Amino acid sequence: MLTANEKKLLRKKLDTYEGTIPHMYLDSKGYITVGIGHLITSVANAQLISFVDAKTNKKATAAEIKTDYDNVIKQTNNRVASYYKKYTALKITQSEIDKLTNKHIDTFYKELKRIYTSFDTYPSEVRLALFDLIFNLGMTDLRNNWPTFNKHIKALDWQKAANNSSRKPPVSAARNKYVKGLLEKAAQTTKIKATP
């Protein structure tokens, strides 16, 4: 499991690369999203989230949540998240964002342990890099579509994993550089420890 410090760093980086958006918006693939990259799969799924009226902070009704969802889903995707604010009347609070993000971290931890049985023994930098990848790609994509990367992770070859960690746009060059840097740092630290 991640340490408290690792969780803090992970949340900070997720906020940097995903953004913290309190209203519904469409991500680059056209999926309704809220908070720090929290995917909303349906109206019913949206209604499980504690939305409030953006002006009054009064708890939103199921009908109000459906209205926001319906308004946003009709829009063009791949715009900046703030573009969708004018189509919404609701938001989620910071505590709800934190709750959703913590739930994601717990779920992704279990999924990472399924993909990489030795996950807990990996250096901190490798665990953080893998969290960033799974948060962005999802478990199925990371497990099935990254065979070379996964082979190097399981062989504990952090440098080769770093060389194969780049994601395609819309993932930013800065985010790819961050993950590669984490893996390269782990490779350097491991090398130093191995030197007598």
The model's pTM: 0.85
Q: Mean pLDDT across the chain, nearest whole number?
A: 94
Over residues 44-76, the pLDDT tens digits come to: 999 999 999 999 999 999 999 999 999 999 999
Contact call for residues 87 and 54 (beta carbons, < 8 A)? no
Q: Is the dihedral of CA 147, 153, 159, 162 positive or negative?
A: positive
Distance of alpha carbon 194 from alpha carbon 154, whole angstroms: 18
Residue identified by tokens 């309704």 is 32
DSSP letters along 66-93, please? HHHHHHHHTS-SSS-GGGGGGG-SEEE-
Ramachandran category for residue 188: left, alpha or beta (phi over 0 → left; psi -120 to 50 → alpha): alpha
Over residues 98-151, the pLDDT tens digits come to: 999 999 999 999 999 999 999 999 999 999 999 999 998 999 999 999 999 999
Q: How big is the chain, counted in residues?
A: 196
